[in-house]
Amino acid sequence: MVFSYSKSKKGEKLVFNMNFDPDSTFHSTLLNNGDFSELVLRDDGVQITIPEEKLALKQVGVRVDGVYQVLSLEPATKTETKPIPLISPEKSSVEKTISKIEEHPPTESERIQCCSECKSTNFVRDYDAGELVCGDCGIVIASKITDQGPEWRAFDQEQKDKRTRVGAPLTYTIHDKGLPTMIDWHDRDIYGRSLSPGQKAQMYRLRKWQRRIRVSDATERNLAFALADLTKIGNDLNLPKNVLETASTIYRKAVKDGKVRGRSIRAMVAASTNVACRQCGIPRTLNEVADASYVRDMKIQNWRKQVGSDFRFLLKEYDIKPPQIERSKLISKYSEGMSNKGKIEYIANKILFAAKQNRITAGRGPEGLSASATYIASVLTGERKTQRELAEISGVTEVTIRNVYKTLVNNLMIESCY
């Protein structure tokens, strides 16, 4: 940052030049009294012209990038240019407090530090009455609180959708994030009247070009195809919205970094979905996601192997360490459709807890353990579910369920299962 100034030939004004980073934010005032008469913004700085009657001030205050500095103007001869030394004045305590408040304005709870009666900080906001109430003693601390919500009320989701005056929220599951508008296919005007043939032809052309400009380059075409396939997988697996948003974010990042090049789009979508399920704690296995994304006309052998390879590729490239699927959620999934579902879940969770205490679960997959515990619980409750049925639901083989079942029964001494 360079500061310089020079007097004009007649000596009636002072030209003050400042050169600094173009991205800096600039603010300048004359100290004590008055202001400069002319300010010219340049690409590399600012030029200020100060009248002769204000040269006696000898100082100019400048704020660059939020830092306030005082520049002292020393006497100069005609047409002479000199650097201006920077003076860093010490801020007063009042200025420090004001700057701190400007940077981080206090909230209502911070302004009212504690209750005046019981000294509690447990505050409850009653928006119906517009009051701030102490949650311990019940005293009203503040009243007439401004409600930041809408002025209308809605008693169900249908009324809320009708009365809201904003558009749909942003979503990463659409390639353009849901921002562009769509031209309706109904050829009617705002009053419901049919359009003339010429207007219909014009609307047809506008609708056609609207579809074309929504996908402008190869990246958007990739996202449009991939995110549509992601939505289909979510519908087939009944995935919640947060999983789809997370999977869309992961895939968008892979496309931006060029990680999708040379790989199957459908396989990368399935791998991103599986990573999102693991991060959000949704009990969906890799085989289930691969089967939901598989298309019969695709000539890719070992489809599950391809999806698993892309899944491990994403974990390695972005250093993702997703948690293991919770066994309790798997048990709830495997016991679906049973009449004694709650009792079976309770017994199966008890069996797994005892197995963990005896260090039997080490080195075994959660799917096999949960399926075996569910099988034992179904036998104990008298609502037997075959090992083949559990193998089809869990995606593991019958041999795995049988081996884990024998290990649990022998180590936990469960005699009534034989």
| pLDDT tens sequence across 157-170 | 888 877 777 777 78
Residue-wise pLDDT for 45-85, tens only, equals 555 565 555 555 555 555 554 454 555 554 433 334 444 44
CA dihedral 200, 204, 210, 216 (to 10 degrees): -160
What is the per-residue pLDDT for 35? 47
Q: What percent of the chain has pLDDT over 90?
A: 19
**Residue 18's pLDDT is what?**
57
Task: Say whether pLDDT at 301 is over 50.
Answer: yes
C-alpha span between 331 and 240 (Å, rounded) = 19
Q: Backbone phi, then psi, for 109, in 5-degree steps?
A: -70, -35
146 pLDDT above the threshold of 80: no
Give the pLDDT score at 95: 57
pTM of the entire predicted model: 0.56
Tell me how far apart the terminal alpha carbons of the chain are, to the nearest angstrom: 85
Asked whether residue 293 carries a pLDDT value surpassing 60, the answer given is yes
Residue 311, pLDDT score: 93
What pLDDT does residue 182 have?
77
pLDDT band at 302 (very low <50, low <70, confident <90, very high): confident
In this structure, the chain runs to a length of 418
Closest by CA position to 25, among listed 69, 61, 67, 65: 65
pLDDT of residue 63: 52
**Residue 307 burial (CB count, 10 A):** 27
8 A C-beta contact, residue 270 and residue 307: yes
Q: pLDDT tens-digit profile of 173-201?
A: 988 887 777 788 888 888 888 999 999 99
Residue 247, beta-bridge partner list: none
273/234 Cα distance (integer angstroms): 8
DSSP symbol at 157: H
Q: Which domains does the chain have, with CATH numbers?
A: 2-93 (2.60.40), 106-166 (2.20.25.10), 218-317 (1.10.472.10), 327-412 (1.10.472.10)
CA atoms lying within 13 Å on the CB side of residue 368: 19
Residue 8 pLDDT > 70, yes or no?
no
For residue 252, give both structure tokens. 């968008």
Residue, of 287 and 91, whose pLDDT is higher: 287
Distance between CA 276 and CA 305 in Å, rounded? 19
Tell me how far apart the alpha carbons of residues 48 and 38 are, in angstroms, rounded to a whole number.
6
For range 123-130, the mean pLDDT: 80
Rounded CA separation 249/254 (Å): 9
* Local confidence band at 88 (pLDDT 50, 70, 90 cut-offs): very low
